[in-house]
Amino acid sequence: MDENDEKVAAQQAEKLKHAAAVRQMAEDLNEAQLRDVLTKLMLHREAGREWMEFCRSAVEKEWRPADPEGMEYLHIAPDVSTGGSLKQAFRTEIEREQQRVAAWRDHLACGPLTGVEQREGWLRRLAWLGQMHGSDDLDGMRDLDKGYREITELPGRVSADTGIVIWAAGNAAEQIALRWLLFLFREFTGSVYVIDAPAVTAGLTGRSDAVFLKSGELSADKLRSVWERAVQTGLAEYALTGQRRRQMESEWEVLSAGKHTLHRYGEGRIVGVPEDYYDAYLLETAKKVCGRRGEYRKAARVIGEALGQSEEPLDDSFLNHRLSSLVYAGRLEFKGVPRQMRMYEVRPAASGSAGIGRAAGSREKSAEELAQRQLDRYNAHDLEGFLDVYAEDARLYNLLDGSLIAEGRDAMRERYRRRFEVDKVHAELVNRMVIGSRVIDHEQVTQAGSDRATQAAAIYETAGGLIREVWFVYE
């Protein structure tokens, strides 16, 4: 390589580095910020027209095939795993822009469905999921929101000449997604096909011992075989009639109006069940995994066993949410921080145990009592009394960016000493919500010598008679 080649290679490497930095910056901007940046670029005297043409071209390239009449089918997968396999199965057709694959990203069997066809309802669901996943999964929440926007924008960008193929197996998550998608495409006048890939695979193999519970368990080759079989039969048996489409759209409206946060599917019906429906199953699984000696086992192992032995596909994050709820309820003993499944261990609570982290016969203080006690001692500037309400390894987080503010009583002592001794802070409780072991407080915080009140929200998570984690949102 001569000097000129090295210079070109260096310039190319710098361009790639710059492009990666720009992409990351764009990912970090919200919609309003992106619109503001694009508007300023388009208003620029020198480059405005060029930027308008570039943006219009980019949007058309992203959302529309080069030849709209050439795209025969749009495949919509029920999850990211199935979507990836379908893209691999149809990679040749995708390169020729004959077919396209989109993927829904959310496990709709878990969490509220109320009004999610509207942005406001979706954000309520996202908040519920965020609480279930925890503050350390903000990237996951952003990814879900991005997937929601991509899917909800599809109906207006698909020609009636394109066939819509929805892949949906016989389980709650995929059947709910099917009805949700049909509702989104209710104005679509083209053909809609539904393929239950596991059922078709069972018919092709003739094997009853190899049962797949969800579409994502099938490889790209198997999905390709399913598609080829469907095409050979003319797709007629997979086409939804207008009457069946309207029926499923109506079923979605019923789901959307409901209040359940957990659903099951059986005998062709989706039914809402209590959120603790699987708790007994989790307890039995924990007993099995921990053995006769009742040894501590990783929560991830208990959840993995529950997933593997279940006769229906379950969501691991939801199971972790319920497992931690059993910890807070005193049904399981634990070591570690009952949040992420790899961060704590569990075992069945001893028979007759009065609860976690307390002696038998004593009464564990409720989550609301703990929140109120720390608030009272905060306002009394009683530093050690304030810290006594918190676990030794308590963690404080910023909910908006997921950053760790402080960990452990020593770090908290340093953080709050100045606030108590110098700032003389005072928090006035505006509103409080109690959800099981969690307390959500809306507070107005003031300092001595200042009339300005700062709005703040705090989510306290308790276990074993102590506050173990807090997530803050500041004005």
Residues 129 and 242 in one domain: yes
Residues 164 and 206 in one domain: yes
Residues 316 and 384 in one domain: no
Residue 2 has pLDDT above 60, yes or no: no
CATH, residue 455:
3.10.450.50
Predicted TM-score (pTM) of the model is 0.63
Three-class DSSP labels, 217-235: HCCHHHHHHHHHHHHHCCC
The reply to whether 358 falls in a domain is: no
In angstroms, the CA 347 to CA 288 distance is 10
Q: Which domain holds residue 35?
A: 10-61
pLDDT value, residue 59: 47
Number of structural domains found in the chain: 4
pLDDT tens digits for range 97-121: 889 999 999 999 999 999 999 988 8
Quickly count: other Cβ atoms within 10 Å of residue 418's Cβ: 10
In angstroms, the CA 401 to CA 368 distance is 26
Residue 260 has pLDDT above 80, yes or no: yes
Of the pLDDT bands very low, low, confident and very high (cuts 50, 70, 90), residue 356 is very low
pLDDT value, residue 29: 59
pLDDT tens digits for range 442-473: 999 998 878 788 888 899 998 888 999 999 98
Residues 112 and 225 in one domain: yes
Residue 347 bridge partners (DSSP): 333
Task: Return the higher-pLDDT residue of 265 and 359.
Answer: 265
**Domain ends where: 223, 239, 271?**
271
Residues 37 and 131 in one domain: no
The reply to whether 212 falls in a domain is: yes
Residues 108 and 227 in one domain: yes
The reply to whether 357 falls in a domain is: no
**Residue type at 201 in one-letter notation:** T
Residue 99 bridge partners (DSSP): 73
Residue 5 CA: distances (Å) to CA of 13, 16, 18: 12, 17, 20
pLDDT value, residue 196: 95
Among positive and negative, which fits the CA dihedral 53, 56, 62, 65?
negative
**Domain ends where: 271, 301, 336?**
271
Residues 78 and 94 in one domain: yes
The reply to whether 237 falls in a domain is: yes
pLDDT value, residue 138: 67
CA angle 89, 92, 93 (to 5 degrees): 90
Q: What would the mean pLDDT of 168-195 be, rounded to a whole number?
A: 95
Residues 226 and 311 in one domain: no
**Domain ends where: 271, 293, 314?**
271
Residues 265 and 339 in one domain: no
Portion of the chain with pLDDT greater than 70, in percent: 80
The reply to whether 318 falls in a domain is: yes
Residue 462 bridge partners (DSSP): 467
Residues 212 and 226 in one domain: yes
Residues 382 and 414 in one domain: yes
Largest CA distance in the chain: 82
The reply to whether 355 falls in a domain is: no
Residues 339 and 456 in one domain: no
Contacts for 475 with CB less than 8 Å, ≥ 6 apart:
454, 455, 456
Note whether 465 and 357 are within 8 A (CB). Answer: yes
Of the pLDDT bands very low, low, confident and very high (cuts 50, 70, 90), residue 67 is very low
Cα-to-chain-centroid distance, residue 128: 9
The reply to whether 196 falls in a domain is: yes
In angstroms, the CA 426 to CA 130 distance is 29
pLDDT tens digits for range 126-166: 888 887 776 456 677 888 888 899 999 999 888 889 999 99
The reply to whether 4 falls in a domain is: no
